[in-house]
Structure 1
Amino acid sequence: MIDRSDVSCPLQTRARWPLAAITAGSIFTSHAYSVSATTLDEAQSHGVIIAVANEPPWMKLDPDGSPAGLGPERDKAILEEVGVTKFAGQMMEYGAMIPAIQSKRATLSSSGALFIQPERCQAVIFSNPVSCGGEAFILPGSLVGKVHSYKEVAEQSLKVGVCGGCTQQKLSIAAGVKAENIVIFPDGTSGMKLLADKRIDLLAHDTATAVDLQKRLSNSSVTQVVHVADTKLSCAAAAFSKDSVELRNAYNEGLRKIIASGKHLEIM
């Protein structure tokens, strides 16, 4: 069962509109300015730097270095509603996003990149939730029906692939999976290669990403996506530095506007 509680940070306002739940070492690209905007005025004048992961079609950088994919396109539409019109992108692993935001190398993480988690709320501030989803495993045919939870991964001493700094890494550790059985991959494509080469036994990701990876890089005769039992619903949001409250609040207002106008669904 998916637990739908605890999807927002303490003292942060929860979204007051229906959420559109979609089935849906750091490498930095160059950008025009080295310190990201903190206030709304700065963002309107100089633009913002969006941290993205290498997870097409959810997040990517176009050949010219501009952020693209569902998350960044949504971020652009949201911020354009409050007068922000210039956007640059930095590609990095998930675990590097919060340090980049804290050090002002990025203004925000893209809206679908980071799930809201209590420990992350100690380091950054989040927008209202933008999308929610569950947890999934990508399993080879030999394990289908035999693995339903992280606890079973631990009990069977299976090697699980996770993205560094992601919720799935935390869930694996909490369930007792040994450190040597947790294999970090930099992006989903690399994780699927590990699975195909049998260097890991299964791959863990959020449901939307797992479905897309399996569809693009495997087939149902080789692997299957299964829901992970007894996990909470996770909700993703844009993350900002703690001194960017005004900009975060403006982002929330832009999000409200694109949901009300129907543009949010159009982008999806």
Structure 2
Amino acid sequence: MTAKLTVVRPGALTTVQDAGRTGHAHLGVPRSGALDAPAMRLANRLAGNPEGAAVLETTLTGCALRPDTDLTLVVGGAPCAVTVDGRPAPWGAPVRVPAGATLDIGPATHGLRTYVAAAGGIAVPPVLGSRSTDLLSGLGPAPLAEGDLLPVGRAADTAPWALPVAAPWPAPPTELVLPARLGPRADWFTATALRTFLSATYTVSVHSNRIGLRTEGPALKRRSAGELPSEGMVLGAVQVPPDGRPVVFLHDHPTTGGYPVIAVVAEEALAAAAQAVPGTAVRFAPC
């Protein structure tokens, strides 16, 4: 019989995510997948899963789950309080949750996104090779709602006591430094704008989401008021909309866009961007 998790409290935004839906950009399908991929992989390893198994990604307020059979779960990513039927449980380590008990993942105390891995992985049906929720295209399962039932796959034959009990989780950033390579449309901006982009301090906007990290700060002035035809967009592209404030494209980004891309941020830096709360200082550093 397939184990199931009942969603007791869905939180502000909790989605199913895995390693992503790669190879479909030519069809207009974004990559999606866990925004903090290292946190997802580490939680899966602690649960005895393959690194790319589907997990739950919560946003700021956590969630609560109730298994219908004894189940090992791991809560990692952004630090938070964890309880089982009101009793404190470890964060960043495997937790054996009895059938019918409620695992409550509290609000993030630092950072933004917490990951919940279940031994066996979240086994919702894959779409185009991935179980990830894509908020832009609507592919994959809908964000969690109260009362949802989530199937869990068969766990590896690893005794809970044999799993690791600690992990070096990286701390959420107090200042976000994003290595950026200028181009392909840097020539659309004035020399002053380019200097500003690589020297000014921006802050993470409250309007950021899985599609893009929006910033607040000095506007970047274009050389001309012309418009580009839509062209392909990649993960980490820094697009500059008409208000002049850079937007860093994250995993649910559109695959095409018409605003000029001043630079591209290295993919390995985007996990820290996923954990940067609104108001976090942001600097773009030449790559």
Question: TM-score under structure 1 normalisation?
Answer: 0.30
Choose between structure 1 and 2 for higher RCO, CA contacts under 8 A separated by at least 6 residues: 1
Rg bigger for which structure?
A: 2
Question: TM-score under structure 2 normalisation?
Answer: 0.28
Answer 1 or 2: which has greater strand percent. 2
